[in-house]
């Protein structure tokens, strides 16, 4: 009798932990809109009388397209590589500057979701937020912009446009090996197969990219005149779709 009771207790203890199979490999595609925060300045006070440009949420938006390869350590912790083709636009600002920047970025990143740290088995609310996630990584950027070199023979309003406007502007039209720190917050929707394993993941993501350069926009002006005090930053708001396959893992919660 004691053996039977002990067996039942052990069986009950094992059953108290939920478990799920998951695939460890994921490939994905993503796309979205970008916003840039560079050295361009808006509002009044520029050299052109009456010209007071404003930057709003609906202007200076461009696009980003990308792909990813991830490895899942658990259903809620992953590491991976991401490639993005990015376009940024800015201007015209109060100093009559504008740009279009096109570049590629390669990122190494890690991602963790709330579900790794909570027991969501008995709470609809916790179950709903289990796929809220955040990631941090290291990226490398290479590309070009359309800003031309300074020409002392031309006035600021003369074509071609855009171009650097004085000889002390150290901006570049080409850049490579630029280091960036991407940080992302997002939410995932899981699509399950007939075996109740996650097969597709649809993600909604907001990413902030902090770069260690002032070259993305093509301008590196005197910060005392042009309010150019920080390195370039850009953000993206987008959607991703991932397909999971490959070796299986077993997750206990």
Choices 3.50.50.60, 3.40.50.720, 3.40.1160.10, 2.40.160.20: CATH for 20-252: 2.40.160.20
Residue 215's pLDDT is 87
Q: How far is 32 from 34, CA to CA, in rounded Å?
A: 7
Residue 53's pLDDT is 65
List the structure tokens of 51.
């010209």
**Average pLDDT estimate for 29-53:** 77
Residue 227's pLDDT is 66
Residue 170's pLDDT is 79
Mean pLDDT, the chain, whole residue set: 86
Q: In degrees, to the nearest 5, what angle opens at C-alpha 16 toward C-alphas 11 and 22? A: 105
Residue 125's pLDDT is 96
> pLDDT by residue (tens digit) across 207-230?
999 999 888 988 887 666 666 678
- What b/e readout covers 4-38, taking b as 16+ CB neighbours within 10 angstroms? eeeeeeeeeeeeeeeeeebbbbbebebebebbbbb
Q: How far is 11 from 170, CA to CA, in rounded Å?
A: 71
**Average pLDDT estimate for 112-117:** 97
Is the pLDDT higher at 63 or at 160? 63
SS3 (DSSP) at 74: strand
Q: 194 pLDDT band (50/70/90 cuts)?
A: very high
**Average pLDDT estimate for 138-143:** 98
Eight-class DSSP state of 17: S
Cβ neighbours of residue 6 closer than 8 Å, sequence gap 6 or more: none
List the structure tokens of 92.
């015209």
Residue 48's pLDDT is 60
Residue 178's pLDDT is 95
């Amino acid at each position: 009798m004691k053996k039977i009771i002990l067996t039942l207790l052990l069986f009950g203890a094992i059953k108290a932990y939920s478990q799920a199979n998951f695939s460890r490999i994921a490939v994905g595609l993503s796309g979205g809109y970008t916003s840039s925060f560079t050295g361009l300045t808006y509002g009044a006070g520029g050299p052109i009388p009456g010209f007071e440009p404003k930057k709003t949420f609906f202007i200076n938006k461009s696009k980003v397209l990308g792909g990813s390869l991830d490895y899942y350590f658990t259903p809620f912790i992953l590491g991976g590589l991401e490639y993005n083709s990015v376009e940024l636009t800015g201007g015209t600002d109060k100093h009559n500057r504008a740009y279009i920047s096109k570049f590629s970025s390669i990122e190494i990143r890690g991602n963790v979701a709330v579900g790794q740290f909570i027991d969501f088995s008995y709470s609809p609310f916790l179950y709903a937020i289990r796929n809220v996630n955040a990631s941090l990584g290291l990226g490398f950027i290479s590309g070009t912009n359309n800003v031309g070199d300074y020409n002392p023979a031309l006035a600021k309003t003369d074509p071609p446009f855009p171009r650097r406007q004085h000889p002390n502007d150290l901006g570049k039209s080409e850049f490579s090996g630029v280091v960036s720190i991407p940080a992302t917050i997002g939410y995932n929707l899981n699509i399950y197969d007939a075996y109740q394993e996650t097969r597709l993941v649809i993600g909604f993501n907001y990413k902030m990219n902090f770069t260690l350069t002032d070259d993305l926009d093509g301008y590196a002006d005197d910060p005392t005149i042009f309010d150019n005090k920080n390195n370039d930053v850009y953000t993206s708001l987008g959607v991703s779709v991932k397909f999971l396959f490959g070796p299986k893992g077993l997750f206990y919660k």
